[in-house]
Structure 1
């Protein structure tokens, strides 16, 4: 059998079988990118002030979320395939829920009590406090306020990033249902799903170019997740190729200003981020940190930036960035070692270590 040419890349199944990957570093980089991006909107209240909007149409934070969903789609599909539905459900629940529950309680009860302008007794007894906790944990709402907290900030939301978890969980459920139907390994189903979502997004750009952002997001994130999952399903045939990354990026650049641009951008970024994570040429000397701080960074970055802006409202975005990153990483480390890592230990016990070892996806 002839060896593949260098420009053909390596089969996905061979790449993921390798001993190293860049997943932990990439996820941390994506989470830090979200914090960098939000330093601008937190201080000005304008999303258009964030980096990359003018050149790409999307904020740095939105690009980072796209990267999270690409990785998640690939790894979550692999997780169900290797584990089965019972282990999958346990693994997904224990990966997301403990960190989120503690973050919501910490922000609402500890940070909120310290930052509120109300008397502490009135704050703790407020129905708005209970409503915030319930809404954030049950429906992942980012637009619920805490009484007297961040009320003078341009944006008053205490946890502005949790809205993406709604789409993440929906995608998890989608994988679960497709897996129960026995269709998870169907290449045709994976292809139809990606093609359908891509055509829906193309149609939206063609027929409703000024459609509400939420409508676009409802197609964007599932498309990216589905494409990531499809690359796993097609792992015995699909390849990770640097040349293909360049071709996709060139096609995206050439389509700028057309109804094809956004769809090509999302497909290119999905393929590109997974190429960065698994391509052997990029992972040969990779270093994997012992602590995965990405989830904690993603959850706590926003409320920490909001708090710093409340304390020093004249601080510009650039000045806010360094202290917010430092504090966020410290809190994320505490979240990992005190909450997330112990939860992973519970998961290992619950699963009885019955399944094949797989790379763990972390929620955005």
Structure 2
């Protein structure tokens, strides 16, 4: 039996969507928690790659988790524009991302920073560095901006180390918006060309410039994964959710290790695998949709909480602080959801004049 037979016999993405059962919410939370687990190593050592999974795959658990975020986001955001149109899409994306981020930046800078700074409180609150942190984080998603006198003795001094991905997320949102405005969002050919172009760009980078800066790879990696998720939605009537195809992609990725094809196969295989886990009948029979979506808050607050615990107890190993950091992060994420994110979703529903789509609304990773 050929791969094509397995592909043709597998259920389509469209049929999976029609069942109205998915694992988007629990997978997103698992990915957010994976980021926190991954950072437990780098926060204490100051070496981003000082994490076990890096040795076997070349990427940290956190990077793999962000890849999963972008695959889900590409799929759901493309569906959002397709079903809503440009106006509703713009309102939905803004209200899902901005309120939680604004409150997180203000809470970290004005509350956590004020509590943790080594400076006198009045000096801290009047510091240009405080204003620079708030402005740079909210306008350009800078994640390497430090607060005055905060975490000065930590290996990393910046308090919001995960917000850099929001820059790429917003860029991808804008890409969907523009493609939708010119009428190409539903074009299967356009989706295929976009994914193929980004994949070839990444292959070319690995082949011609294997020593290229990490930023160049990231600028191709995240849009490629996002575009793959979007393309899977655009091709939903023909695209299949096949466990055999997923295993084939895993094998191909393993066999390509050390070659210029490895990263491209790893990223596209990850995107397909995450969406298979989210939608395939084999894993959605007993799906559960939690009432609270804690993934965004977990992603935003995990790093500053881990930084704080390490600053307070610098001699304690990463594994010891991991459990309390996860517990505190989930607690604060629940507060963020209840007081900020959920009311923003209610505002979105009122702004759109109707109930929002049942499908989980993606928040930026």
TM over 0.5: same fold? yes
Runs of 4+ in 1 over 6 A off after TM superposition: 4-7
Give me the whole-angstrom Cα distance separating, in 2, the residues matched to 1:189 and 1:220: 19
Q: How far off is 1:88 after superposition?
A: 0.1
Q: Which residue of 1 aligns with 2:135?
A: 134
Where does 1:1-364 land on structure 2 (aligned, <5 Å)?
Answer: 8-353=9-354, 357-364=358-365
Contact 1:161 1:298 in 2 (8 A): yes
| Structure 2 residue ranges without an equivalent (≥5) | none
Shift of 1:359: 3.5
* Alpha-carbon contact 1:83-1:356 (below 8 Å) kept: no
Q: 1:362 offset after TM fit, Å?
A: 2.0
State how far apart, in whole Å, the 1-side matches of 2:196 and 2:339 are: 42
User: What is the count of residue pairs matched by the alignment?
Assistant: 361
Against the structure 1 CA distance between its residues 26 and 326, is the aligned structure 2 distance closer, same or farther, given a 3 Å change threshold? same
SS at match of 1:179: helix
**SS in structure 1 at match of 2:162:** coil
Q: Which whole-Å CA distance do the structure 1 matches of 2:225 and 2:186 have between them? A: 18
Q: CA deviation at 1:119?
A: 0.2
Q: The residue matched to 1:226 in structure 2 has which SS? A: helix
- Cα distance in 2 for partners of 1:101, 1:157 equals 17
TM-score normalised per structure 2: 0.97
* Cα shift at 1:248: 0.4
Please report how far the alpha carbon of residue 18 of structure 1 lies from its aligned counterpart in structure 2 after TM superposition.
1.2
Within 2, Cα distance between the matches of 1:116 and 1:359?
Answer: 38
Please tell me whether the aligned partners of residues 232 and 239 of structure 2 are also in contact (alpha carbons under 8 angstroms): yes
Deviation track 1:240-273 (CA, whole Å, cap 9, x = no partner) reads 1101100000000000000000000000000000
Quick check: 1:43–1:316 contact (8 Å CA) kept in 2?
yes
Is contact 2:229-2:271 (8 Å) kept?
A: yes
Q: Deviations over 1:168-214 (max 9, x none)?
A: 00000000000000000000000000000000000000000010000
Give, in angstroms, the shift of residue 96 of structure 1: 0.1
Structure 1: tracts of 5 or more residues without a match: none
Contact kept, 8 Å, 2:6 with 2:244, in 1: the verdict is: no
Per-residue CA deviations over 1:281-307 (Å, capped at 9, x if unaligned) read: 210111111110000000000000000
Instruction: Assess if the C-alpha contact under 8 Å between 1:83 and 1:355 holds in 2.
Output: no
Q: Name the CA shift for 1:144/1:85 in 2 (closer, same or farther; >3 Å).
A: same
CA distance in 2, matches of 1:220, 1:51: 21
* SS of residue paired to 2:67: helix
Residue 353 of structure 1 deviates from its aligned partner by 1.1
User: Per-residue deviation at 1:334?
Assistant: 0.2
